[in-house]
Amino acid sequence: MHQSPTEEMPFRLTYGVDAIIPVEIRELSPRLLLGGVEEAVEKDLVDKTREMAHLSEMALKQRMTLHYNAKVLKRDFEPNDLVLRRNDVGLSTPREGKLTANWEGPYRVKEVVGSGAYKLERLDGREVSRTSNARNLRRFYS
């Protein structure tokens, strides 16, 4: 069974030569008979193999990035939007247990501080001391 060029790439990249199976050692194959290939040609083949491996790696990374970004939910809030804040953020009190609510609020977005950071205030106008990240916020629909 003959390996495709992409299957033998790791061996060639690691050891600098093609893999030789025991049958080829006993019975010389055309590949071994032509083993006197110049170093420049061999180096060119290794460089070409590295380039092909690099291109296939970049294509795979790009496909993975596109797949991941398709599933990410972008959360942008404007001032005066009502939001809920994740309850497990910040200090917990001893009386809290596993049956407490996962989200608290609603809060009003007072100010957009930066990329994904928001200053919140309670509905009665009191400001929340810490900024909140968009990952820990959810839009509140009344």
pLDDT at 64 over 50: yes
Q: Exposed/middle/buried for 87, CB within 10 Å: 0-12, 13-18, 19+?
A: middle
pLDDT in tens, 71-82: 877 778 889 999
Q: Look at residues 83, 86, 101 and name the one whose alpha carbon lies nearest to residue 141.
A: 83
- What average pLDDT does this structure show over 45-63? 90
Domain boundary residue, one of 71, 101, 123? 71
pLDDT in tens, 108-131: 999 999 888 999 999 998 998 888
Residues 66, 91 within the same domain: no
Q: Exposed/middle/buried for 46, CB within 10 Å: 0-12, 13-18, 19+?
A: middle
Window from 8-17, 51-60, 95-104 with minimum mean pLDDT:
8-17
Q: Which pTM was predicted?
A: 0.48
pLDDT at 5 over 80: no
Residues 60, 103 within the same domain: no
Alpha carbon dihedral 117, 123, 125, 129, in 10-degree steps, equals -40
What is the percent of the chain with per-residue pLDDT over 90, rounded to a whole number? Answer: 27
Domain boundary residue, one of 71, 100, 117? 71
Assess if residue 77 is contained within a domain.
Answer: no
Q: Which residue has the tokens 């928001």?
A: 118
Residues 65, 13 within the same domain: yes
Residues 23, 63 within the same domain: yes
Residues 89, 64 within the same domain: no
Domain carrying residue 88: 82-139
